[in-house]
Amino acid sequence: MGVHIPSRCVLAIIGYPGYDEKIFNAKPAVVTVTKRDIGLVERYVRSREAQAAEARPALDYIDEDACKEAEALKQRLSDISPGRESAAVYQYAILEILNYLFNPDLIAGEPEVRTIDGTERRDIIFTNDSDESFWEYIRTTHDGILLMFETQNTETLDISAINQTATYVGDRIGRLGIIVTRQSRPEAIRRKIFSV
């Protein structure tokens, strides 16, 4: 993880003659100065390389409470036995985990959402309310205003689960469905997913 150093600090660190906080506090000014004096950039790079051994990542962004919640969710998930008997418990645990991971980008997560005619149900549906680049890409490229998550509380993922999920995606719900399962998928299943 890199450490962002504001432009004015770069100039102060390398001892640029004539550095003035009021003048050099904008990126365009730094670009202009470095174009005029390429040696300035070289001195900065040398000074950063010399300090590399002392570099340590900042840990002040770690939220201890969030870490505890994540560990509790992981433990809860590992306590659920695979199989049909625990499918509903698994589904609600996955709903909580998805809320933990993706809120506020994905909102209004609902389990057991039925189609308008009531003939089919989706395990979990979220509304994609994100302005972040990845989720915005999903919304615009795959019509992913709604995101469907199918939960598979099984030891292995088979082709019937892929086919079932494939029938759910389309114009009404978007063209992206996500299957949440316990194990990584075998090569044959991965090829089937790509073909769908």
Beta strands in 95-153 (DSSP E): 106-114, 121-128, 146-152
Measured in Å, how far apart are the chain's first and last C-alpha atoms? 36
The predicted model scores a pTM of 0.65
Q: What does the pLDDT look like over 58-105, one tens digit per residue?
A: 667 778 888 899 999 999 999 999 999 999 999 999 999 999 999 999
Q: What is the pLDDT of residue 107?
A: 92
Is the backbone of residue 18 left (phi > 0), alpha (psi -120 to 50) or beta? left
The pLDDT profile of the chain, 196 residues, written as one tens digit per residue, is: 444 444 444 444 444 555 455 554 566 777 777 777 778 778 888 888 888 777 777 667 778 888 899 999 999 999 999 999 999 999 999 999 999 999 999 999 888 877 666 667 788 999 998 888 899 998 888 888 889 999 999 888 888 888 888 888 887 778 888 999 987 777 888 888 888 7
97 closest CA partner among 74, 120, 80, 117? 74
